[in-house]
Amino acid sequence: MAEAVLAFGSNLGDSAGAILSAMKQLDHMDGLELVRASQLYRTPPWGVQDQPDFLNACAIYETALSPEALLAACKRLEKDMGRETGQRWGPRLIDIDLIWMEGEVRESETLTLPHPRAAERAFVLVPLEEIAPFLDLSGQTVASHLAALGAPGIEPASP
Which residues are known to be catalytic? 83, 92, 95, 97
Task: Give the count of beta carbons closer than 10 Å to the beta carbon of residue 117.
Answer: 12
Strand, coil or helix: 32: strand
* Pairing status of strand 41-43 against strand 54-63: antiparallel
| Strand partners for 60 | 5, 36
Residue 54 and residue 9: Cα distance in Å, rounded?
Answer: 6
